[in-house]
């Protein structure tokens, strides 16, 4: 059974940092690109960042480019999102999601989400 | 960036009725469109991909159609558990991936 378990969310002041983790199980982690999608409570979905299976390629939304860094440790089946220079508009539930397949960036499994609150 | 516009914003129907949800893209996405269902407090669930392919475990009352810029998700006979928010997502032009703003399907 595929499972994705996010952790690391919490409250932080503007300008602060957080690192989110996503522990994966039930599939060959290194074979799949992974993605973070966020959702402001009560609002829609926003794609944040993606990483290839090998970790060599990363992609970012313009809204987080230069502030967020996505990485993965395939030996630990874990995805990481380092978030720096956080802003109030980064407040959201952050979901990690497994890409369905190569060159098909839609998402067949999602974690339960972790809430990030940026507020003074 | 491809913009996806979903309509209606809210759809009020009764169990047993047919639901038709629309997603329009600002430019062609061919068949590179997925649909998701989200219930309160839960993560999104993949319903359809490739515009018309049901994901694993999705009941056959759900169907998808369309290509290019106009897409439809149809639920043939609504069950109580189908009342949720539905999102479309394009993946032809990535990055960035884009989602529609959602359609809320509520019980009438």
Cβ of A61 within 8 Å of Cβ of B95? The answer is: yes
Cβ of B91 within 8 Å of Cβ of A110? The answer is: no
In a mutational test of the B interface, the residue from A6, A41, A44, A45 whose CB has the highest number of chain B CBs within 10 Å is A45
Contacts of A22 in chain B (CB under 8 A): none
B15/chain A closest Cα distance in angstroms: 24
Say yes or no to pLDDT of A81 above 90. Answer: yes
Cβ of B45 within 8 Å of Cβ of A110? The answer is: yes
Instruction: Find out whether A22 and A5 touch, Cβ atoms under 8 Å.
Output: yes
Q: Which helix (H) or strand (E) holds B37?
A: strand B33-38
pLDDT > 70: percent of chain B: 100
Q: What is the pLDDT of residues B23-76, one digit of tens each?
A: 999 999 999 999 999 999 999 999 999 999 999 999 999 999 999 999 999 999
Sign of CA dihedral B101, A92, B89, B29: positive
Contacts of A60 in chain B (CB under 8 A): 95
Q: How many CA atoms lie within 13 A of B47 on its CB side?
A: 27
Interface size A-B, in CB pairs within 8 Å, comes to 57
Q: What is the pLDDT of residues A22-68, one digit of tens each?
A: 999 999 999 999 999 999 999 999 999 999 999 999 999 999 999 99
Instruction: Find out whether A22 and A113 touch, Cβ atoms under 8 Å.
Output: no
pLDDT confidence of B96, banded at 50, 70, 90? confident
Say yes or no to pLDDT of A102 above 80. Answer: no
Distance CA A107, CA A61 (A): 17
Say yes or no to pLDDT of B93 above 80. Answer: no
A52-58 CB contacts, 8 Å cutoff, 24+ apart: A53/A102, A54/A30
Contacts of B100 in chain A (CB under 8 A): 44
Distance CA A24, CA A6 (A): 9
pLDDT confidence of A103, banded at 50, 70, 90? confident
Average pLDDT across chain B, whole number: 96
Beta partners for residue A21, in sequence order: A7, A80
**Looking at residue B94, what is its pLDDT?**
75
pLDDT > 90: percent of chain B: 95
């Amino acid at each position: 059974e595929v499972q994705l378990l996010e952790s690391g969310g919490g409250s932080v002041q503007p300008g602060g940092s957080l690192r989110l983790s996503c522990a994966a199980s039930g599939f060959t982690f290194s074979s799949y690109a992974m993605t973070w999608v966020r959702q402001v409570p009560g609002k829609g979905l926003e794609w944040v960042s993606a990483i290839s299976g090998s970790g060599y390629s990363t992609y970012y939304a313009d809204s987080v480019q230069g502030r967020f860094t996505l990485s993965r440790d395939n030996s630990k089946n874990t995805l990481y999102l380092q978030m720096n220079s956080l802003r109030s508009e980064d407040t959201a539930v952050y979901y990690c999601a497994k890409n369905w397949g190569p060159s098909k960036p839609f998402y067949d499994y999602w974690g339960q989400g972790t809430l990030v609150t940026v507020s003074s | 960036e491809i913009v996806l516009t979903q309509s209606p914003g809210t759809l009020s129907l009764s169990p047993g009725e047919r639901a038709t949800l629309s997603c329009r893209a600002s430019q062609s996405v061919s068949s590179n469109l997925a649909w998701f269902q989200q219930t309160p407090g839960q993560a999104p669930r993949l319903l359809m991909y490739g515009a018309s392919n049901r994901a694993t475990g999705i009941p056959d009352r759900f169907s998808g159609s369309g290509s290019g810029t106009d897409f439809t998700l149809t639920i043939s006979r609504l069950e109580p558990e189908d009342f949720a928010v539905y999102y479309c997502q394009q993946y032809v032009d990535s990055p960035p991936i884009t989602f529609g703003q959602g359609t809320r399907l509520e019980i009438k």
